[in-house]
Amino acid sequence: MTDELRPPIRELFDLVDESTRGASPDLAAIGSGLSSRAAEATTFEPWIARLGDRSAAIPIHAPSRGPRLVLVHRLEGQMSAVHDHGTWVAISPIRGIETHRQWRVRRDGATAPRVELSDDRALADAEVATLLPPDDVHDHGHLLGRGDPAYVLILLGDDQTYLTRNEWDVATGRHRILQPGDGGRWVSTEPFPD
């Protein structure tokens, strides 16, 4: 843990440690812990101030490997690309509305996998969504008409940039494999690489 971790954040990572000792992480406990932290909005004011009103992510706790916590904000109308993480994930807004959509992967023989929307939620303050691979294909951010863009906590089981992952372009149906080190597209409107 870094020196910057305040007691509520340290308590969250203690809970994560306890909840990941078994064969599979206890996502209900992890989600509940993250939601409780998100409800304590004042804890995160220094990071929100650092982030400001820009579309970006800043680490709160990011060791070289293992669980990490980031604060994410996307501007009005910005959604992430549809992606997976290759590790468990929990997401909870501190304030604002975060659209969280889960996608089902369809594989038809030798054709590229395609995605179909399976769940669409508008997460308000301290509500939580959790995902576990291989059912972790999702996008999130802000849809126009769904309140103010959120400042959202994202808790990941590991550094996804070390993992081979997937990304889709819903508009064209295109799929690509993200090799380790490739963070993917930040927002879905960025060009899909050839």
- Is 81 part of a structural domain of the chain? yes
Average pLDDT rounded to a whole number, residues 100-119: 90
Tell me if 102 is assigned to some domain.
yes
In Å, how far are 7, 24, 190 from 166, measured between CA atoms? 35, 22, 16
Assess if residue 174 is contained within a domain. Answer: no
Q: Is residue 89 in some structural domain?
A: yes
Asked if residue 185 belongs to a domain, the reply is no
Report yes or no on 49 lying in a domain.
yes
pLDDT for 1 beyond 50: no
Write the CATH number for 149.
Answer: 2.60.120.10
More confident residue, 107 or 63: 63
111 compared with 18, residue with greater pLDDT: 18
pLDDT tens, 3-61?
Answer: 456 788 999 999 999 999 988 999 999 999 999 999 999 999 999 999 999 999 999 99
Is residue 159, in this structure, part of any structural domain at all? yes
pLDDT, tens digit, for every residue of 143-183?
Answer: 999 999 999 999 999 999 999 999 999 989 899 999 999 99
Residue 24 placed within a domain: yes
Structurally, the chain folds into a number of domains equal to: 1
pLDDT above 50: residue 115: yes
pLDDT of residue 5: 64
- The residue range of the domain holding 41 is 7-163
- CB-based burial of residue 139 (10 Å sphere; 0-12 exposed, 13-18 middle, 19+ buried)? buried
Give pLDDT, residue 3.
Answer: 43
Question: Has residue 88 got a pLDDT over 90?
Answer: yes
